Amino acid sequence: MQNKEYLDEMIYELASDIYFYFINRLDIRDKCIVDVDDYTENTDLGREIYYMIEDTIMKSIKKPENPNEKWNLFDNRNLMKEIKEYVISKDKNKLH
């Protein structure tokens, strides 16, 4: 059980690092994080993006290995593109 908890903790930490990389790189930090007193909190959009990243990593790491297939952290998904499209669709829905 200790190994599973350690793996999960490492996945959460990695997902968080990747999350901040993407929101800073895509210049959407202000849409994903708000300042509350002396700490920050994710917006709904920020939480959704974080869980998208975390779920992708979890599935990729926990899926059975196929020795004929090259392993990929993002399971061959283009997360940067998916996040951009997701933010655009959320922005469009706000306008309607």
Contact (Cβ atoms closer than 8 angstroms) between residue 79 and residue 56:
yes
Q: What's the whole-number mean pLDDT along residues 48-54?
A: 95
- Between 73 and 53, the more confident residue is 53
Rounded to an integer, what distance in angstroms lies between the CA atom of residue 24 and that of residue 32? Answer: 10
Q: Cβ contacts of residue 74 below 8 Å, gap of 6+?
A: 56, 57, 60
Tell me the residue ranges of DSSP E strands in the chain: 33-36, 39-42
Q: Does the reported pTM lie above 0.75?
A: yes
Q: What's the whole-number mean pLDDT along residues 68-92?
A: 84
For position 92, what pLDDT does the model report? 81
For position 64, what pLDDT does the model report? 66
Per-residue confidence band for 62, with pLDDT thresholds at 50, 70 and 90: confident
Q: What's the whole-number mean pLDDT along residues 38-51?
A: 94
> Sign of the C-alpha dihedral, residues 26, 28, 32, 34?
positive
Residue 1, classified by CB atoms within 10 Å of its CB into exposed (0-12), middle (13-18) or buried (19+), is exposed
Residue ranges of domains in the chain: 2-95
For position 82, what pLDDT does the model report? 92
